[in-house]
Structure 1
Amino acid sequence: MENTQTEVKGLATWRKLAYGLGNAGNCFIWVAISSFILIYCTNIIGIGAGLVGTLLMVAKVFDGITDIFMGRIIDLTKSRLGKARFWYFVSCLPLGICMYLIFNVPGRFSSSAKYTYVFIIYLLISAVFYTMNTVAYSTLVALVTKSQKDQTTMSSASMVCGMVGSILISSITPGLVESLGGGQQGWHYVSLIYSVIGVLILLIPFFTLKELPEEEFVEQSQKSEVKLTFIQTIAELLKNKYFIIILLLYLVGYANTGLTQTIGVYYATYILGNPSLLGILGLCGMIPMLVGMPFAVKFVGKKGMRKACILGNVVSLAGCVIALLGQFAGFGVILAGLIIKGVGMLPGSATYLPFVVKADEYNYLKTGHRITGSMFSCSSVGIKIGTGLGTALCGWLLEWSRFDGTAAVQSGMANSVIIAIYLVAPIITTAITILLYYKMDVDARIEKMRTIKIAD
């Protein structure tokens, strides 16, 4: 085990940045799929948005189930590569292969065969390999360092790299597809390029991080403890109110992500009249992340995670309202609103994973059990079911509005639905997020439990 990971000062900076790069690699696969799979289906292979959205949502139901199992599997894993690191490595190559396959639906297939093909490949990605990858990736935060400062920085690096990767994919993909031949030919080459690059970047955290010895996470009183069964583990998770709150935070946050990522290309294409503007819209969220994340970490340290997140989301809510007003006041106002929204998202971006660590610590103090892998599965459940729900809602609403992927100009109803999804939905999800953070008093609860324990 390398010394940089066991010293009090924590992980070397370059290792924390290397962890963050894993999320950038993820963007070449998952963000590309979640952002463009619906428009690929409606505009390239000619199948309906409503049914596609339904199939993707069904896949997410299976996905949520496998997440919990994956967390349990990580908890029980013993290998020379570690618990989470082993499964992270195993998942990388299959993710790249599936990324290529889902954007290469055979043109000779009938409509029903195309639906089936998309469903099966999407199910393999989300319910098997992406589950394996993201649960393991999230769990690594708790297994490679015990420093909350390091965990916050790693979470921040992950969010920044993910944001940069997301904006890059959003910005270049439409133009890249066209430059490589357009239509199915363009998607063939783009999916191949993204698959290779994505896998290579995903492997960076595997080769740069090592898990701490398991003994460092087990106190003397816990060493003789009987291992929990799967049912007992699930019961503990469901009794942990902070697990439930974090799960809801992920569901709401990533439902919003699924909505805006999926509808973003429609908004740029049919409302703004230029699909290339998708990158500029996304850039408004990336700039605050790149400039403000170091300040966000200090802000979180000064105010505490819960208070910082509440204040941040109030700012984000104001940005959402300004962006909506920009639909009537002009494109510049929209961009200003999105930038303000991005600023408000900073504290939440820096504390997603540290909050999970806190929930696991609360569970240990309450029950004497460590179920770290299962606890971190909540992040993957929320990300994928939330994103899937957002994508499905887009499909259902586009179908309801009678969106026509073959038409250059859409109906007034379709345009109104696109605007509502992109600009109104974030107001609702941000308001819900503020209420959830208000209930997230895990730091105070842990401190109280430790005080009682010392007194006893």
Structure 2
Amino acid sequence: MALPTFIAIITLFLVPAGASAGTKFGFALGTNILASAIVYTAIAVPFGSMLFYATRSTEERSKMGITRAVFGYVIGMVLSIGYIPITNALGGDQRAWVMFATGFAVLAVIGLLAAFFANPERNPDPPSTRNNAIPFLESIGLLFGNRYWVIMLLVMLLANIIYALSSGSGIYYVKWVLGDEDLMALLGAVGLIPVVVGFAAVGPLVKRLGPAKTVRVALLVGIAGSLVRVVFPYELWALLGFGALVTLSTIPIMAVGGVLVNNTVTYGEWKFGKRQVGMANAASSFGAKVGTGIGSASIGWILALGHYDGAAAAQPDSAVTAILLISIGVPLAILIGMYALMRFYDLDDRYGQIVQELQERAESSQSPS
């Protein structure tokens, strides 16, 4: 997908300048679908599956997942900070944006090719299953028969709802609840602290507790922080101090969510005798995208129920309540739901024995009769 990635990134910025508004909208919609729904998905699913094929070790998979999350977050932050100054320095016009996109597309191609050539599959499919494709409906049935995969499907869906709510609700909260939209800059700066702490802590915690228990501990921290904010919803100190705990609580699932999903593939192979790496990652990725869509849309739905009017000089109490819901209430409920689900994910305790039994099966099938 390296070449399609290069093309998709550049075409995002090739909107025909002299076209009608409708044509521009159609071009923007089509190129965004191409880049995000098609090309990105075609990269993300096999890229996520490489966690499984690189190693059977949960610790090694966790290190890979953490590294991936850290660099993804850092690069995203660098881009979000730098793209305006860079494009302005290049002239600020469409040509400048195309130049910027081309440079980024080249880096993306280099990164994808480096990832490909540097990562051989050390945990390949058994010879007996390589050409034995599972029918689609049977594959779906096997996934939903894998209780750990179902848990992770729901957890990742809920996690992406929180991510969408967090990224979209802040401006409403500081403007209409705290009364100062300029606080967004302070909020963004302070918000980096739990991210840095979270990524620094998640590795040692995973090594000591395992990925699932690390996620559960973090969710409890987020629940505690949210409860304080429920009691003090109009206080800036509660937002900065205890809102940071909510951000901190989402870092482990961001870092090791893919690890927990791929470990369910090993469980499914042990239980059903069939390995579903691509399908498990694809379906989980689809669930995450659904969560992002629900989270983004729910901001508008809840605000509409509260009779929010963005053009008004002041908001009714119902709109302020709606803002408190999307900023505090709904995320708290989701964190509780995620914790409840993760209580049933006890695969970490069984994983070593499952891997050993799979290895014994493989050795037994290869030994002469």
Give the TM bin, normalised by the shorter chain. Answer: 0.7 to 0.9
* Matched residues, number: 357
Q: Does 1:109 align with 2:109?
A: no
Candidates 348, 353, 368, aligned match of 2:253: 348
- Note closer, same or farther for the CA distance 1:152–1:337 as it changes in structure 2 (3 Å cut): same
The worse-fitting range, judged by mean Cα deviation, of 203-212 and 333-342 is 203-212
Task: For residue 334 of structure 1, report the CA deviation from its aligned partner.
Answer: 0.8
Q: 1:139 aligns with which of 42, 49, 53?
A: 49
Equivalents in 1 of 2:93, 2:153: separation in Å? 34
TM-score, structure 1 as length reference: 0.66
Query: Deviation of residue 379 (structure 1)?
Result: 3.6
Larger Rg: 2
- The offset of 1:218, in angstroms, is 3.1
Report the counterpart of residue 155 of structure 1 in structure 2.
65
8 Å CA contact 1:324–1:424 kept in 2: the answer is yes
* Structure-to-structure mapping, 1:128-277, within 5 angstroms: 128-165=38-75, 167=77, 176=84, 195-196=101-102, 199-209=105-115, 210=117, 212-213=119-120, 216-219=123-126, 222=128, 226-272=132-178, 275=181, 277=183
Q: Secondary structure at the match of 1:361?
A: helix
AA paired with 1:267?
Y
Q: Superposition pairs for residues 32-51 of structure 1, below 5 Å? A: none
Aligned partners of 1:105, 1:270: CA distance in 2, in Å?
Answer: 37
Distance 1:91 1:132, change over 3 A: farther
**Aligned ranges for residues 41-440 of structure 1 at < 5 Å?**
87=1, 89-97=2-10, 99-100=12-13, 108-109=20-21, 120-165=30-75, 167=77, 176=84, 195-196=101-102, 199-209=105-115, 210=117, 212-213=119-120, 216-219=123-126, 222=128, 226-272=132-178, 275=181, 277-328=183-234, 330-407=235-312, 410-440=315-345
Other structure's SS at 2:21 match: coil
Structure 2 unmatched runs, 5+: 365-369
Q: CA RMSD in A?
A: 3.8
Q: TM-score, normalised by structure 2?
A: 0.79
Residue identity opposite 1:281 in structure 2: L
Aligned-pair CA distance for 1:360: 1.0
Q: Secondary structure of the residue that 1:440 maps to in structure 2?
A: coil
State the 1:205 CA deviation. 3.4
Change in Cα spacing, 1:316 to 1:139, as seen in structure 2 (3 Å) is same
Identity of aligned residues (%): 23
**How far is the alpha carbon of 1:440 from its aligned partner?**
0.8
SS in 2 for 1:355: helix
SS of 1:345 mapped into structure 2: helix
Q: Deviations over 1:160-205 (max 9, x none)?
A: 33444555566678xx59x96xxxx989799758745653553453
Q: Tell me the distance in 1 between the aligned counterparts of 2:104 and 2:215.
A: 31
Please say if residues 312 and 344 of structure 1, whose CA atoms lie closer than 8 Å, have aligned partners that are also in contact: yes
Q: State the one-letter code of the partner of 2:261.
A: V
Give per-residue Cα distances to partners, 1:42-82, cap 9 Å, x unaligned: xxxxxxxxxxxxxxxxxxxxxxxxxxxxxxxxxxxxxxxxx
